[in-house]
Amino acid sequence: MARYMVLLYAGEADPAEHAEREAETPLWLELNESLRAAGLLVSADRLHPVDTATTVRMRDGDLQIADGPFAVTKEFLGGYYVLECSDLDEAIKHASRVPLARYGSAEIRPIVDLGTDRPGRLASGA
């Protein structure tokens, strides 16, 4: 089984949209429980709002620290899942169940298995 990270992105919500999203909590709990029961859920967490982010960069030996996210975008990273799935198709199937996918997006990326993935293969894509 491969591990996939599902990155959850959504735009800022006005108070009414925020209330609608919070009302979906039972859907999230149901999703989490079904993934756990199927043995697919490795981890999942919701992130604090984007205004709590700190970005760290090293440039020419100098540490640069900035309040806020790396990039200003309309959508921000709000949470994630790490799922253990048989393949990408299974990961897509479960990512499509995420309530946020109706108003945001769920980006799926395979997680590098340092025990089996060769470093050269990752850089070259071969």
- What DSSP assignment string belongs to 88-126? HHHHHHHHTT-GGGGTSEEEEEEPP-TTTS-HHHHHH--
Residue ranges in the chain whose pLDDT is less than 50: 124, 126
Sign of the four-CA dihedral 107, 75, 32, 49: positive
Sign of the four-CA dihedral 35, 39, 93, 4: positive
Is residue 82 a contact partner of residue 111, using CB atoms and an 8 Å limit? yes
Q: What is the pLDDT of residues 54-72, one digit of tens each?
A: 888 899 999 999 887 666 6
What pLDDT does residue 66 have? 87
Tell me which fold the domain 2-113 belongs to: Alpha-Beta Plaits (3.30.70)
Q: Is this prediction's pTM over 0.85?
A: no
Q: Where are the domains of the chain?
A: 2-113
